[in-house]
Structure 1
Amino acid sequence: MQQNLTQLEILQGRGEPLGLTNIFHFSKHPVTQADLSYQSSQLTPDFLSAFDIPLIAGRNISEQEWQDKAKVMLINENLAQLLSPDQPIESLLNTEFEKAKIIGIVGNTFNLMTRNKLQAISYQHLNYQTQQEIKLLMQLPAGEAFATQTLQQLALAFDPSIDQVEMRTLNEYWNAATADTRMLFYFTNLLTLLTLALAAIGMAGLATSLTEQKRFELAIRMATGASRNQLLRLVLAQASWLLFSGLCAGVIFATLVYTSLQPKIASLPAFDLMPIILIDLLLIIIVLIATLWPAKRIINRAPMQALREL
Structure 2
Amino acid sequence: RRYWPNGGALGQRVFQGSDSDDAKLFTIVGVVGAVKQAELTEPQGQGAVYLPFIDFYGINIFVVTRTSQRPEAFAETLRKLVRAANPDLAIDNLRSMDTRIAESLIARRSPALLAGIFAGVALLLAAIGTYGVLSYAVAQRRREIGIRMALGAQTRQIGAQFLSLGLRLLAAGTILGLIGAWLAGRAMQSVLFDVPTLHIATLLDTALIMTAVSLIACLIPARRATKVDPVVALRAE
What TM-score, normalized by structure 1, do the two folds share? Answer: 0.41
Residues of 2 paired with 1:243 and 1:138: CA distance?
A: 49
Partner of 2:59: 133
78, 94, 110: which one aligns with 1:169: 94
CA contact (8 A) 2:170 2:214 kept: yes
| 1:228 lines up with 2:151 in the alignment | no
Change (3 A) 1:178 1:255: closer
SS of the residue corresponding to residue 169 of structure 1 reads: coil
1:242 pairs with one of 156, 169, 176: 169
**Aligned partner letter, 1:169:** L
1:6 matched residue in structure 2: none
Match of 2:105 in 1: 181
Q: What letter matches 1:193 in structure 2?
A: G
| More RCO (CA 8 Å, sep 6+) | 2
Task: Choose the corresponding residue for 1:200, options 123, 137, 150.
Answer: 123
Does the CA-based 8 Å contact 2:147-2:230 persist in structure 1?
A: yes
Residue ranges of structure 2 left out of the alignment (5+ in a row) = 1-20, 23-57
Larger radius of gyration: 1
Measure, in 2, the Cα distance between the counterparts of 1:185 and 1:146.
32
- Separation (CA, whole Å) in 2 of partners of 1:273 and 1:175: 23
Looking at secondary structure, tell me which structure has more helix per residue.
2
Whole-angstrom distance in 2 between the partners of 1:186 and 1:212: 37
CA deviations over 1:49-95 (Å, ceiling 9, x no partner): xxxxxxxxxxxxxxxxxxxxxxxxxxxxxxxxxxxxxxxxxxxxxxx
- Say which SS state the counterpart of residue 202 (structure 1) adopts: helix
Report how far residue 250 of structure 1 moved.
Answer: 2.0
Instruction: Say whether 1:211 aligns with 2:131.
Output: no
What is the correspondence of 1:1-310 to structure 2 with a 5 Å cutoff? 133-135=59-61, 145=76, 155=88, 167-171=92-96, 175-176=99-100, 178-182=102-106, 184-185=108-109, 187-188=111-112, 190-213=113-136, 214-215=138-139, 216-217=142-143, 218-262=145-189, 264-265=190-191, 267=193, 269-274=195-200, 275-300=202-227, 302-304=229-231
Q: Is the 8 A contact 2:163 2:222 kept in 1?
A: no
Pairwise CA RMSD of aligned residues?
Answer: 4.3
> 2: distance between equivalents of 1:294 and 1:236?
8
Separation in 2, partners of 1:304, 1:176? 70
* Residues 277, 181 of structure 1: alpha-carbon distance in 2 compared, 3 angstrom cutoff: same
For residues 203-234 of structure 1, the C-alpha deviation after alignment (integer angstroms, 9 at most, x for no partner) is 21112112222132434543443211211221
| Length, aligned pairs only | 168
Task: Give secondary structure in 1 for the equivalent of 2:105.
Answer: helix
Q: Which runs of 5+ in 1 are unaligned?
A: 1-19, 22-131, 159-164
Change (3 A) 1:201 1:135: same
Q: Aligned equivalents of 1:210 and 1:177: distance in 2?
A: 45
Q: Residues of 2 paired with 1:209 and 1:245: CA distance?
A: 17
The change in CA–CA distance for 1:300 and 1:184 in structure 2 (over 3 A counts) is: same
1:289 Cα deviation (Å)? 1.4
